[in-house]
Amino acid sequence: MATGSIDLNADVGEGAAGDDVVLGQVTSASVACGVHAGDIDTMRRTVETAARHGVVIGAHPSYPDREGFGRRRMDIAPARITEEVLSQLSVLVAVAEECGTRVRYVKPHGALYLRMAHDEACARAVAAAVIQSGNLVLLAPAGTGAVEVAGSMGVTVATEAFADRAYTRHGRLVPRTEQGAVLEDPVEVTRRATTIALDHRVTAIDGTLVELVASSICVHGDTPGAAGMARRVRVALEGLGITLRPFAV
């Protein structure tokens, strides 16, 4: 039987109906900060539910793009990115404090997350916000330049891989505009999660094996059937002897 531990996270507070169930399965929750999705009331409900389940709370800031759900590319200067992340983070920090808990990490959302992965200036801008916000962890895509850039600035970085997203042979996420980019088969999602945890790799969309050393596995809260997927993934990982443990404490 396998040993070791890994985090299971989900992006929540984005209006998905199954968030309450998802939060009962994961160990970390990246909560939308009211810009690409959500609002103060949604944040409060999400944070309260997460805290009730003992789930670690992270901020999920995005480009100021509610119409595009934060998934459209935007040519925003690095200084503005730092300001946006800090502004959105401060809102969630205040909500968490009201709920008797705190924010422990930052995971950018959507197009900002993808840009951070391979744009050094963007990665530095996000890392600068994390530094200014205090002793938080940055959750960044495994195998990308953002990990090294943020780490070189003294930021504690955790790495992430996705159980419900397809990868290219270069270790990048397949754009959501392409067929097969989002995996909706719970059996395949579970298989991918266990392979990431045990073998530290995924099978790319062209069949290539890609190394992905991740400290956290994500199941998106807005993926169809996310609640059931999260439950299956948790059961499968624990059944293999893998302890589910948050990366940020």
pLDDT in tens, 123-146: 999 999 999 999 899 999 999 999
Q: Can you give the pLDDT at residue 135?
A: 85
Is CATH 3.20.20.370 what the domain over 5-244 is classified as, yes or no?
yes
Average pLDDT in the chain: 96
Segments making up each domain of the chain, as ranges: 5-244
Q: Can you give the pLDDT at residue 2?
A: 67
The alpha helices in the chain, defined as continuous H runs, are: 19-22, 40-52, 78-98, 110-118, 120-133, 145-152, 186-199, 226-239
pTM for the model: 0.96
Taken in order 160, 47, 84, 79, the sign of the CA dihedral is negative
As to burial, measured by CB atoms within 10 angstroms (0-12 exposed, 13-18 middle, 19+ buried), residue 239 is: exposed
Neighbours of 109 (CB within 10 A): 25
Rounded mean pLDDT, 181-199: 97
Rounded mean pLDDT, 197-220: 96
